[in-house]
Chain A
Amino acid sequence: MLTVDALNRADAQLWRHAGDDAANTAKHCEHVASVARDEVARTLGSAWSSPAGDSARARFARHAETYEAAAMAMRAIARTYDGLAKAIETSRLTLHSALDYASRNQLKVNQDGSVYTDPVAQTPEAAAALQDAIKQTEEMITSVLQAATAADSAAADELRTLAGLVNVEDPKAVRDLLSGDGNSALAVALRLQGGASGLHGINVSPAQIEAARKASAETGMSFDLILAIMWQEQQWYQNYEPNLDGPLTAAGRRANWAGEETFKPDKSLGITHMKLATARGVIQDFPGSFPSLGGLSDSQLAKYIEENPNEDVRLSAYYMKQLQKNPHGATSDKQLFMLYAADTEQVRDSNAKYGDDSSQRGAAIKSRADNWDQLQQGLRDADAWNGLPESERRKALDTLAAQTPYDRKVDLNPLYSGADVSSSTYGTGPLPPNRAQFPPTPTPESPVKPAPTVPAPSPGPQPTPPAK
């Protein structure tokens, strides 16, 4: 979530100027498109009758189309900037009003919008009135921070989609995409193509993704929170065997189990890295949900966790439900994500004090908090992609394939893929056009016919995608 400072320092005017800049760029694109189509291509149509003249005319007509596509994208970028400017103006007005009120009443405001005051001796009535003022101010500030954060996320998604449009030169595809609500399959695919920089995927099979979905429905914990735990806590062997079905997985499981049995009794187990004592506590707290596990010995339970990844996912979801029973420092998914690693008084106090603001945290918790922040975009994109009908995913992939040379692959790499979720295909487009090769200008003394130096594109047969 945006901090108070980030919103307070935001400058709507900068985004307004950015909007004017993009709109101005759109005008230039439209002008070049108009010249290419209405002056050059049209002139060539009447003034140069030959195959070369026809090719030249087609080439400038194509430039007109790509500039038109660029103009449409620029106008969409301008709209996004303007929308963000408007959201900032509205949010800052409310924020300033709340901050003024807080200042007049000696209230202090944390970066996450929480409000407090230094303790002073006062009558019970005054104390009650103060608590009421704190509550109202806090609600106003957190509400405006949430609204600004939502506007920021929406603008970021739009801009990421529009950045992806640089690779789409077909005006019809651009027009179709821009006429939608920004969450069409192609829009999501373009965002995925932009990539979640440097993040590895959630290295599990679709069966564990489905287990996470079921655990979410069963416990009420958010699906993305469970996935984030699976991402953060993955075992080393999952990098090589995400399907958990190879020799490295078997070796890793044996090592964990043997370690827990011998030299390291508090060894973390399974794909969500759960300690035996933690699992034992969850099973005791939710006996009806794990009826067959209560009677297992430590050795049997450790082996069970290692060999049943779907149950491991369930245990983790229930563990976070358990963490939530004490609301102190456990009021958001991000706070639960941090507590999962270290449910200590210090972490809970810091969660309560700093909320979801990562900048105030230190050491391993800071790194974990940053990981959470970085994961959110990729999770949101993967959720959107997995939530689409397969037919729409295929259609979006086909559109991208047509824009991709046939010797390249389109690979969206969502953070996770459920069963039967397509996310890659082979390009079907032509190789990039040859750069302009200028024929040497002949002279009357040496009318030598030049030989083509660069062969014309000659696409071979399209590769056949491998059978599933």
Chain B
Amino acid sequence: MGYETRIDAASVIRAASDAHVATENSRQGMLLKDASAAGAGHPGWKASTASSACVTAWRERLHREADEVEAAAKALASSANSYVTTDRAVAGSLTEDATWLKGV
């Protein structure tokens, strides 16, 4: 493929771990509980209905996004680990053909 594979597996694994930790820690900070309570506490206000819908939509988006980052981090770590545990030539071929990261 005219592309020499070069990988610093330890750095990649560390980066994947950083991404996982950051996302995992952020989950509790993205629940928008107070925002939800404000909407529920104002019956008769248009902003109440709009806020509840807005909070629900963003919770779902942020949850989905966190899932995707964690899945990508896990896959990243897994691929890098394959370099550590298998023959480098085979692993290079494997990772070059991996499709999971190409869904961008």
State the A residues within 8 Å of B (CB): 2-3, 5-6, 10-11, 14-15, 17-18, 20-22, 24-25, 27-29, 31-32, 35-36, 39-40, 43-44, 46-53, 55-56, 58-60, 62-63, 66-67, 70, 73-74, 77, 81, 84, 152-153, 155-157, 159-160, 162-163, 166, 194, 377, 433-439, 441-444, 447, 449-450, 452, 454, 456-457
Write the chain B residue with the least CB distance to A441.
Answer: B82
Instruction: Quote the shortest CB–CB distance from B99 to chain A (angstroms).
Output: 4
Instruction: Quote the shortest CB–CB distance from B95 to chain A (angstroms).
Output: 4
A21 touches B35 (CB 8 A): yes
Chain B residues, Cβ within 8 Å of A157: 50
Chain B residues, Cβ within 8 Å of A40: 15-16, 18-19, 73, 76
Chain A residues, Cβ within 8 Å of B44: 2-3, 5-6
Write the chain B residue with the least CB distance to A5.
Answer: B44
B99 touches A49 (CB 8 A): no
State the 3 A-B residue pairs at the shortest beta-carbon distance, nearest first: A156-B46, A18-B38, A21-B34
Write the chain B residue with the least CB distance to A10.
Answer: B42
| Bound: A387/B98 CA distance, A | 50
| Bound: A342/B94 CA distance, A | 77
| Bound: A153/B22 CA distance, A | 37
One digit per residue, 1 when the CB lies within 8 angstroms of any chain A CB and 0 when it does not, for chain B 1-24 equals 101111110011011101100110
A50 touches B96 (CB 8 A): yes
What are 7 sample pairs from A and B whose C-beta atoms fall under 8 A apart? A31-B22, A43-B11, A44-B76, A59-B103, A63-B72, A436-B75, A443-B86
Q: Is the interface of A mostly helix, strand, loop or mixed?
A: helix
Q: Is the interface of B mostly helix, strand, loop or mixed?
A: helix
Of A29, A48, A438, A452, the residue contacting B26 (CB under 8 A) is: A29
B72 touches A433 (CB 8 A): no
| Bound: A53/B87 CA distance, A | 18
| Bound: A93/B78 CA distance, A | 60
| Bound: A67/B8 CA distance, A | 27
A58 touches B104 (CB 8 A): yes
Instruction: Quote the shortest CB–CB distance from A64 to chain B (angstroms).
Output: 10
Q: A14-B37, A58-B104 are in contact. List 18 more A-B contacts (CB 8 A).
A: A21-B32, A32-B66, A40-B15, A40-B16, A47-B8, A48-B12, A50-B4, A52-B97, A53-B5, A60-B69, A67-B65, A73-B58, A77-B58, A166-B61, A437-B99, A443-B85, A444-B86, A456-B102
| Bound: A184/B3 CA distance, A | 47
B62-91 interface (Cβ within 8 A of A): 62, 65-66, 68-69, 71-76, 78-82, 85-87, 90-91
B85 touches A441 (CB 8 A): yes
| Bound: A77/B36 CA distance, A | 12
Chain A residues, Cβ within 8 Å of B14: 43
B3 touches A50 (CB 8 A): yes
| Bound: A39/B74 CA distance, A | 15
A31 touches B26 (CB 8 A): yes
B85 touches A49 (CB 8 A): no
Instruction: Quote the shortest CB–CB distance from A29 to chain B (angstroms).
Output: 7
B34 touches A20 (CB 8 A): yes
| Bound: A436/B37 CA distance, A | 35
Chain A residues, Cβ within 8 Å of B62: 25, 29, 70
B58 touches A70 (CB 8 A): yes
A6 touches B45 (CB 8 A): yes
| Bound: A36/B21 CA distance, A | 11
Chain B residues, Cβ within 8 Å of A20: 34
Chain A residues, Cβ within 8 Å of B15: 39-40, 43-44, 47
Of B30, B35, B60, B74, the residue contacting A29 (CB under 8 A) is: B30
Of B47, B61, B91, the residue contacting A442 (CB under 8 A) is: B91
A22 touches B32 (CB 8 A): yes
| Bound: A49/B92 CA distance, A | 10
Given known A-B contacts A18-B37, A49-B7, A155 and B50 have beta carbons under 8 A apart: yes
Chain A residues, Cβ within 8 Å of B22: 31-32, 35-36
| Bound: A3/B85 CA distance, A | 69
| Bound: A32/B92 CA distance, A | 29
Instruction: Quote the shortest CB–CB distance from B4 to chain A (angstroms).
Output: 7
Chain B residues, Cβ within 8 Å of A53: 5, 7, 95
A447 touches B90 (CB 8 A): yes
Given known A-B contacts A47-B7, A155-B50, A59 and B26 have beta carbons under 8 A apart: no
Task: Pick from A74, A159, A443 the residue with the most CB of B within 10 Å.
Answer: A159
| Bound: A157/B15 CA distance, A | 40
| Bound: A18/B95 CA distance, A | 45
A447 touches B86 (CB 8 A): yes
A25 touches B32 (CB 8 A): yes
B65 touches A66 (CB 8 A): yes
B30 touches A81 (CB 8 A): no
Chain A residues, Cβ within 8 Å of B16: 40
Of A3, A50, A77, A452, the residue contacting B7 (CB under 8 A) is: A50
Of B6, B26, B41, B51, the residue contacting A32 (CB under 8 A) is: B26
Chain B residues, Cβ within 8 Å of A433: 103-104
Chain A residues, Cβ within 8 Å of B86: 442-444, 447
